[in-house]
Structure 1
């Protein structure tokens, strides 16, 4: 997503333009790039009346305004993906403004690199509005990261190396950025860096005098301040200013007013960064001195050289791996870095490992939700098999065939039993049995015959708790499968149990929620809802959260007394298991995802999908991951419900996601298991 001109929205501090926080309530770390760099007049992030651009881009929420225009979160109806749409502001609707807009789009669109934001489309709408369609980039810009304290040196070097690699790709096709700064470097949840806003970049061959003064003074190379055209080495100077700030928390000439800062860029050598952050290597000081040289010819020859020098810093002079500086809450620095820098061959190092992406095709629909344990994904399919897939590649380690009858084929079971993996054993239900399989080989340790199992097991203190279509809740010995007790409800059970503090909580289609003694199966209380309870309970801080046909309930865990209910208004046979995180209950019902206040049940936000939501949400690092019967997997901002990305599968997604190490694992009705990038929704090959 391209960052808008933030000058009207920024505040000056120590001679540097820094972005404002969006609000005192919403943390910028939960907003996308544009949301961190621009704020609309009172309506940022609020849902609005839908508008369609070019007959395919449905505007959903305003993300920001700036000097060039507005940016909206939108859904591409043709490609079925989430995008960002930039609209040219009306006052720029002149011939000159239109030429700048299209020049911006074509320049950015000429670049193809994972470290550079992707431009998908541009054009003019029927009413004359000019638009630019870009990828929607989640994460935080490095300006916001800096406001949270100094990052570890190791991460700073990796981020800068990635930015240098992207710059090298742009410079190779004679495109310069001309306004590189922390606010234009986006750090995604996966730890990768993307350069935003090549909007003022110019083809070197078409530079004009007027274009040479565009940029931010705190990061501007001397030659441009002197009115010279300059070249790609100006970007290297700006990158040096960024690296200097990431290492020290200040730009090379912080504390000066604008005229004094301009003079210093041209005439004054900056202080070594180690003056501001004791312990930095003298080799880092030397590298920064080269990058910030007044004459372009004295700087490194290319961005590729910077990439290579940063990618693999040599071993520290101290024993062991290169230590890092970390910022305590008070921003007091702890530790020291004495590492060296010399040119190695290479690709840029990543601050975090890349996600491992793949898809695996099974022989049947995948309603089961995955369990990911010890680098293995365990999941079942309606082809009668339980799969153990390598989490890195999707290659099967083993499969085990279960029982599967005509009754199961007809009824399908909307959710399907999902595995629980405990102490080297996979516990899972099938049509007529509960299975305990060796996690390493898939060999059965025991099976227990019931009346049909779509409930998923909970394994606590050596006991497997599970519900069945024969109306019973079972407590089975985890080692042998021998029943310890059973409890009979009034109807079939799809709900999966939650076992907390010696109590088993579970729902039944007889319109009741049960609290059973975990040791004996004796009922402690029951609560009658207004519809069948297919949802599974979540028990947090003495409260049971669970869904019914049309309502979400919060019940006192000790007594079953209702604390609140929230009516969704749509009969859905609610299957979704709530996720309760940071005082918010996330759950799917009907065609919506809900975020409810855990204490009151008041809705904080809702998000409408294109189909029924029977998947249960996973909430990780401020993102809600959930599937829908519209064939999509969604990643929504946990604080606002604003979509970060959407991935389209080939079938309904009733499976609930598991999110591990930056990868979303989930099944689909198209018979596939997916490993998706948690930051972008990107999928791997089959």
Structure 2
């Protein structure tokens, strides 16, 4: 069989099924056993460390043993091109997204039966410690035998962690409110997603079917979901009550477990009105296609179309296990990338707009009594139109513009620098973006709301020194002059609010609607992003100079009391602390359950700590210290030492892979430090004593260097450009360099030193502007040209 691809000398790829956001799906044949299988291929373009994560997540999912979970048979990596693959149970049937799209919502009894089956599978996973994180109709298979099977446990986490174009664990229409605050997802957030699915099974629509991403997020956070019984007759009040409990904004108000939900659904299904004159899935027959309304029915509208009369014959089996994402073109809204701090330097690409498939094929004639042939929705079915109506809750409960745009990190594209703290949000309120899904013209619909404001350079003059770089989150730029914390409109520099600090503020970060700030009195403080209202403060034994980082609901930071801390991000309570041998100025980073942080002085160690327990995984010790925030990509962590060298260390065991001196040409003063590194894909960028360097991550080979800078800041990579400040230049020059060649695109002196006590004063990118602080204040430069505000550099 020449030309047939075979994986692991065992699995033949027989026929292509489809392609989606998570890769390709093929119908395959197991040569050893002779059975049909479904094979999912995930292109390996994510760095060397991603394969380890893939296998770990796949083994976890493969350990689930439940009839309602698609079985994982095998996994591997093709040595020829690095392609990762999953071999799974072959399931003939359709996913529920296709069923709803092609046939409309099922009878209430069938909807409750299907939901109960899915809840049983979800309960088995949760009880085994496995969270789905992307529950939606497209990930629920209805087999030709009437069973529900859940797809893709573990895949959402792998894709979100490793793929820049998919840095979200979930799909927007089904995401729990806490997920927009960088919560990684747990059993309770799965239950919220399950509530969205149940609502859609009962009514044909997700609970919030707005026409834009920000509006959908607003609805999840503030909107009141409508009970299914108000959209469709015949839904018992008890079913309405369960659905609304699942959709509670607060996780604590949702049902206690998926097991309990399964039990309630079984009891409700037993008492639901019978589905008269209809064919349920359990009969083994599939429904014929029913028309899909062009817009969702109003609450007072008649019931949505039900299943077709009995007698419709079963669909032609389609191998759709592991192909849920192929059907995503019919979804209400796309997955929106949400990137947590220290995730990546390069902004993820915006979601691709689904292409409109050709019209559905007509029913096949011939034997079988007019058999209806069902096809993959992405190949033959016309997606539903998104609703044109207002947000759920009547459109009255809206987020503030700042809050909505903060939550919309990723509606355009977001990048957060691990070392320099640079945040890039590409895409502003009112700008045209591809719509979620729908008919051919959906992507060209004019945006609602006011047009995007013009991006003009601006400056905010300050008489006091700004001690740390600003932080950008959505439309708001946060900064501190030490005694005050302020929020500015990032496009105009107009002050939104300010609040006094009890002690001088140091470095800070934004996550989950809170500002986390270390201060000179030894506290980590949490303030609200709207107004700077204090929420809590956590005491340490000395000053907090480390920039905090938030991951999985925990704030990680260090203090000069020689401790690394993990604190609950919401309550401010201590989870653990780890003692080092010296004062810690370094800021941590977190990746895949590990905290990386360096210590200098007498300790001179780069540590890897378990993020949950605070125990030491490994320690790499040298004759010099590691005072600067590290960075990581692939299977390496990078840190600059006090000897002006860059070290590359294995994330698995802490062994050194390579190191490179960055001391510059002979005669260069050695009293400046090398910058914290930044890493992206297969490249590492770092500032040496007289140049910016672009190095291959695997071996430290220099791709290019740009000389002439006295003391480069952390390089920040956004959209193919490396932005860097010269902290040793009295004129405070900012540079934009081509990421591929290192050639200068522009350079702009800001007129005053960028050093001025500022810690690692790297540029901050967003909204087409470059934000930098110098001795005279805060400046916003045009990112494309480097043009500064009028009069910049002329003030005393």
Instruction: Give the TM-score category using the shorter length.
Output: 0.3 to 0.5
